[in-house]
Chain A
């Protein structure tokens, strides 16, 4: 059971919830850029939230299926097609043997997710299937997919699981995002004017951004003195400001540690919107307390559980 890659797309990688527990050894977490879209894709096909799936950046792949497969596409709208006919995002699809999934082009967002009922069958490296290309770890030989690759899907007996579910969800991925941040301990390394610049400016996501970090172009943030710190840990969403004064937001493939001052950290429930805003997007920052941040994330988690419950209810109605 599985599929062949006919065209690889711009950057298609195997991802999951990330490689956790090894950052103390300098091993990067990697994993999906947009954990919410990836979880919904997995729920639609009856998988756990962080089961291995494909993440497609900017331009999706073409995949040829040798056997019948149930899959779902979420995240960025890349206009999925089955044998050239438009199919829905945010729906579980029964793909007949011999057919081909392709994408007509990017409408909105940056990362699409393709989940397969049963999950992708790739070896776990240190407890995760996530691809980290910089260290050649995980996924398929530690790299993005290439034309001609073959991937297997787990669990033949589970492939048809309940009834296909359509969520009729069309998340509109904005090109202008306002992100909540919790100020960092290093905020004191910036002048009052520098902090004001950070909270009042609009930044543009630079074309040199990638899964490791989103570089932002715009007004330079002034440090009081040195911009560098004694090498310290970073998290997904840490906003580092090197001596140049323009911020870099650490994303899924970030290194485990960094030597630049961190002005703030993006609240985790806002990270999917940042990831999906993509290159050229306009970004602003808004300061919140850690209590507000945790309340917002709780709300997002309960919304996600509702989506999951809704999917489960629909799936079993016709059983």
Chain B
């Protein structure tokens, strides 16, 4: 595995696998995270994978930077190919348009599409969860169809509801909690992407594949009310 290593202060270090947003690079980040979490044991406080780097928070009381550098090299330099990480596929139900997707007409117009085509294109793709960050449970997704690329709102909204599915330039994503924002909102999911009360507080993990599946307003309400369950896989 080819990487560069650099200290982030005295309690963390950063491994870089290339400075580019690409599935191959992100695969390496996620594979390295898996290997280090198994191999470094309690030397590590937490591992934070991003697009092309892995941030390692380590217990500097017990291990200094040079020791960490050596241990990481031993774990990552082995000739043995990193086993392909099994990628989980998660299907997220979305009610497109109407009150839940006020900007779907803007996205359609910008791409010279009908609203139905926007839904078809948005639900046809497989999206990679490159990383989670920015706010709790927020997935940085890659794989949006070029035809759906749309600039942000010129005036951000003061409040975007939790579960809103939006487009900003070439990115698509889901707001895990209500927050201000400038994304073009095309729909909403009744699933909670972030729930601190759950054992797994975030619905998604870095490295997952996300698919969106269209649902009706009726289905949205019954999933939201808990009357209907939704199979993620």
Contact = CB atoms under 8 A, between A and B. Distances in A.
Contacts of B163: none
Contacts of A318: none
Interface in B16-37: 16, 19-21, 33
A306 B6 CA distance: 32
Contacts of B202: 25-27
Contacts of A26: 132-138, 176, 194, 202
Interface string A134-148: 111100000000000
A245 to B, nearest CB: 21
Contacts of A98: none
A231 B51 contact: yes
Contacts of B176: 26
Interface stretch (A65-73, A82-90, A261-269): A261-269
Contact of A24 (B9, B64, B66, B132): B132
Interface in B164-180: 176-177
A125 B132 contact: no
Given A26-B202, A256-B48, A290 B136 contact: no
A230 B19 contact: yes
Contacts of B66: 291
Interface of B: 4, 6-12, 14, 16, 19-21, 33, 45-53, 55, 57, 60-61, 64-66, 131-138, 140, 176-177, 194, 196, 201-202, 205-206
27 contacts: A24-B33, A24-B132, A25-B205, A27-B201, A125-B196, A135-B136, A137-B136, A182-B8, A182-B10, A185-B4, A230-B19, A230-B52, A231-B50, A232-B55, A233-B8, A233-B14, A234-B8, A235-B8, A256-B134, A257-B48, A257-B50, A265-B8, A265-B9, A267-B10, A290-B7, A290-B10, A290-B65
